[in-house]
C-alpha cells in the first residue's frame, strides 16, 4: 500500500468502511466500534507477520486484553473510508502492547489513537511465557 499518511515504520494497515450499523442516529460511529476496529487491525497485524491467533491458540495460549485506552480526536461517520494502523509498541515474555491509529482517508491526521495490552495465559488462565518463535517474529517486526 502506498504511504498516504506518516505511518509508524513497523505498522500494518488495513482499510475499512464505516457501515450504517456502526453509527448512531447522528451518523457518527458508536464509540465502542473503535475497540472492534482495534481488534480487526490487531488480527490482521498478526496474520501479516505469520503468527495468527489460531496458531497461538493451537499452542495452548490466549491473549486477553488486560488494559485498553482510546483517544477520540475526530468522529468517524457513516460511509467514510478508514485506514486502521497497528504495531507492537512493547513486548515482554508474558505481555504484548499494541498501538493503533485510525485515519480518515480524506485527512492527513489520525482521528483516533489507542492501545491494548495483552497477557499471555494458558488455557487454565495462568500466566505463561509467550512462545520463543512468536517473540522472535515480533522482534523482527519491531526492530
Say if residues 142 and 88 touch (Cβ distance below 8 Å): yes
Residues labelled catalytic: 24
- Residue 49 near residue 141 (C-beta atoms within 8 A): yes
The HSE-up count of residue 62 (CA atoms within 13 Å, CB side) is 9
Q: Which H or E run includes 36? A: helix 33-48
d(CA 78, CA 88): 29
- Cα–Cα distance between 13 and 29 in angstroms, integer? 20
Amino acid at each position: 500500500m502506498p504511504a498516504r499518511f506518516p505511518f509508524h515504520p513497523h505498522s500494518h494497515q488495513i482499510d475499512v468502511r464505516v457501515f450504517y450499523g456502526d453509527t448512531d442516529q447522528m451518523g457518527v460511529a458508536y464509540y465502542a466500534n473503535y475497540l472492534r476496529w482495534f481488534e480487526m487491525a490487531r488480527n490482521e497485524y498478526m496474520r501479516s507477520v505469520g503468527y495468527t491467533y489460531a496458531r497461538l491458540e493451537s499452542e495452548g495460549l490466549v491473549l486477553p486484553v488486560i488494559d485498553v485506552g482510546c483517544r477520540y480526536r475526530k468522529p468517524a461517520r457513516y460511509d467514510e473510508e478508514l485506514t486502521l494502523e497497528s504495531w507492537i509498541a512493547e513486548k515482554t515474555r508474558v505481555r504484548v502492547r499494541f498501538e493503533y491509529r485510525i485515519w480518515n482517508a480524506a485527512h492527513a491526521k489520525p482521528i483516533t489513537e489507542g492501545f491494548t495490552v495483552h497477557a499471555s495465559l494458558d488455557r487454565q488462565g495462568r500466566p505463561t511465557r509467550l512462545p520463543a518463535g512468536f517473540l522472535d517474529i515480533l522482534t523482527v517486526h519491531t526492530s
